[in-house]
Amino acid sequence: MRRDGTEHIKGRTKFKCPKISFAGGSPHCTCENPCSDAKYGRTVHLVMDENPRLFNDPPRSSEKWKLEYNARTSAERCNKREKLDYKLEDGRYRSSKMWYCRLFCIMMCQHLDAWSLPETSLQNLLGQAA
């Protein structure tokens, strides 16, 4: 079955027969033994709420999923760096102002760490040429 879109209002995903052809302007099944009497072929609707990890939107193999996943993992790495490496939660402050001061200092340190990333091979080549 091939994914044929998502119906957000009904909360379901639509799958259809992969051998449906739209040649000639109308859909028709190109199977030797058609799986359905309908001219559009067999169509299956799956409710996404039943198993959101298996049937999700956007689909896992798409470019939109990769961008969303990269953004989420980037945020998780940033949170890990603040909490574990810079020991954000080890401070015993009662005041929210002190928490914000500590967080602000940690963010400045993260920014400085990003500036001092390891040099790339292109930077090394340019440094040797100069």
Q: Where are the domains of the chain?
A: 2-47, 63-116
The pLDDT-based confidence of 126 (bands split at 50, 70, 90) is low
pLDDT exceeds 70 at position 17: yes
Q: 79 is written with which tokens?
A: 């949170």
Residue 119 has pLDDT above 70, yes or no: no
Instruction: Give the predicted TM-score (pTM) of the model.
Output: 0.54
- Which three-class secondary structure state does DSSP give residue 3? strand
Mean pLDDT, residues 51-67: 82
Provide the terminal-to-terminal Cα distance of the chain, rounded to the nearest Å: 58
